[in-house]
Amino acid sequence: MAPTTLSADVLVIGFGKGGKMAAHGLADAGQRVVLVERSANMYGGTCPNVGCVPTKMLVHYATARHLKDDAQEYFADSVEGVRALTSAFRAGNFASLDGKPTATVLTGTARFTDPHTVTVGEGDDRVTVTAPTILLNTGSAPVIPPIPGLATSEHLVSSTELTQATALPERLVVVGGGYLGLEFASIYQHFGTHVTVLEAAAELLPREDDDIAATAREILEGDGVRIITGAKVTKVVDRGAVARVEYEQDGETHSVEAGALLPATGRRPVTDDLHLDAAGVKTAANGAIEVDEYLRTSRPHIYALGDVNGGPQFTYVSLDDSRIVLDQLLGQGERSTADRVAVPRTLFITPPLATVGLSEREAREQGLNFTVAREKVADIVAMPRAYTVEETRGLMKFVIDADTDLILGAALLSIDAQEVINTVALAIRHHITATELRSSIYTHPSTTEAFNEVFGKVTPGH
């Protein structure tokens, strides 16, 4: 029978990327680590179980489908492939940490009873864990907007359910045209579902420059996704096999039918069950745990990593959080969130949109003296890879400081953008000029060699 009390050097609550990597580093350094994860289905966190890995695997399957493939059968086989991989990752995550001599993984909900103590589980199975240092890595959860009829609709689905259900819906309505919504719209349209995206903003991807957003919309609509902007969803009414989704646009009421309805309007930090008040840990109005640049909470011995601290909701940011905390606990204590420069992000539609740094609009708003290098993928002679994989849609765009020739930002809507953007980000961090990138030697055929041409297509900023 498991002991009812455990003492650790470090207690980690949540098996996400940041908590996992910190736990490994601390255990390898000889510290006694206890990691608590409330669900056996979430060893390893959101990314390998219900986030990055399954969705990007579905992107791969969806774009590999042939028209002769039966849509339902192909989709079911694809989901089984996803399940096999995520199950293997989940088991590997558990074994690799719990198998360490100084690490223990507990499954159950952790609740603070004082600043150094939590209980895990209920009744006779309850375990009390005490530790002088605690790391919180409980992640985030989808937000269901307060639309009448939405929360109780039988056709409501979460992103998690969409990565696990084997039945392909005939019609999917996505509420919200952000990263999550557009990724699922693109995936399911390629699988054969009729997809409608309802976006409240006047334009799609309002954070991006108009030319990038327009090109992304053109690609999605070209694939068959129906996109309705300026659409405020007002009501959901179940009608047997479908839900009627009502929305207002330009003062008029419209509706669309959905066999499945996905709210994609954001995520919130998961802190509800932690009893943070017992630990004296302060949170913001949205539930995010307040931290300083070293990720210390209002209790200096408690750190918050990943989505739960309200920072950018990316797995690789959570990974960097673990580096900051490990430097605090095992290193010199110098690394901080202030060190982050040129953090890229990718929207995994097909082809993907990857961005880093400033957009043209932002550079103009800041009054910078800049130029723009831009070219449609189909026109880039130096990049035959786009033709060899039969994906010539998209646009490459760079914002360049006119005085220093340094790159201020980039938006790559193209094949391999999720890889190429990392080279651009590295160039920004290490002050590599646009001329150096243009004049460098790249393998052929590759997407990176587009630099040889696109950086020559420079126009003044305006």
**29-47 confidence digits (pLDDT tens):** 999 999 999 988 888 888 8
Tell me, what's the pLDDT at 3? 57
DSSP letters spanning 74-96: HHHHHHHHHHHHHHHHHHHHHHH
Strands (E), 271-406: 302-304, 345-347, 353-357, 370-376, 395-401
Q: Which of 60, 190, 444, 462 is catalytic?
A: 444
pLDDT band of residue 391 (cuts 50, 70, 90) is very high
Q: Residue 28 pLDDT > 60, yes or no? A: yes
pTM of the model: 0.93
Give the whole-angstrom CA distance, residue 239 versus residue 18: 43
To the query of whether residue 194 is one of the catalytic residues in this protein, the response is no
Give the whole-angstrom CA distance, residue 343 versus residue 265: 23
Name, in order, each residue with C-beta under 8 angstroms of 92's C-beta and a sequence gap of 6 or more: 44
Tell me, what's the pLDDT at 236? 97
**Domains with residue ranges and CATH for the chain:** 5-141+268-339 (3.50.50.60), 159-265 (3.50.50.60), 345-460 (3.30.390.30)
Question: Per the annotation, does 56 bind a ligand?
Answer: yes
Question: Per the annotation, does 139 bind a ligand?
Answer: yes
Give mean pLDDT, residues 336-343. Answer: 95
Any idea which residue has 């399957």 for tokens? 61
Whose CA is closest to 160, among 262, 238, 84, 71?
A: 262
Dihedral angle sign, alpha carbons of residues 22, 26, 27, 33:
negative
Q: Residue 100 pLDDT > 90, yes or no? A: yes
| Coil vs helix vs strand at 249 | strand
Question: ω into residue 101 within 30 of 0, thus cis?
Answer: no
Tell me, what's the pLDDT at 69? 85
| Average pLDDT along the chain | 94
Q: What tens digit of pLDDT does each residue of 273-301 get?
A: 999 999 999 999 888 999 999 999 999 99
Give the whole-angstrom CA distance, residue 246 versus residue 254: 6
Least confident piece of the model among 160-169, 225-234, 356-365, 448-457: 160-169
Tell me, what's the pLDDT at 46? 82
Cα separations in angstroms, 202 against 1, 113, 123: 59, 47, 52
H helices within 243-291, ranges in order? 276-279
H helices within 280-366, ranges in order? 315-330, 360-365
Asked if residue 175 lies in contact with residue 152, where contact means CB atoms within 8 angstroms, the answer is: no
Question: Per the annotation, does 138 bind a ligand?
Answer: yes
Q: What tens digit of pLDDT does each residue of 406-452 get?
A: 999 999 999 999 999 999 999 999 999 999 999 999 999 999 999 99
Asked if residue 348 lies in contact with residue 418, where contact means CB atoms within 8 angstroms, the answer is: yes
Residue 121 CB neighbour total at 10 angstroms: 18
Tell me, what's the pLDDT at 342? 96
Tell me, what's the pLDDT at 2? 53
Question: Per the annotation, does 14 bind a ligand?
Answer: no
Q: Among residues of the chain, what percentage have pLDDT more than 70?
A: 99
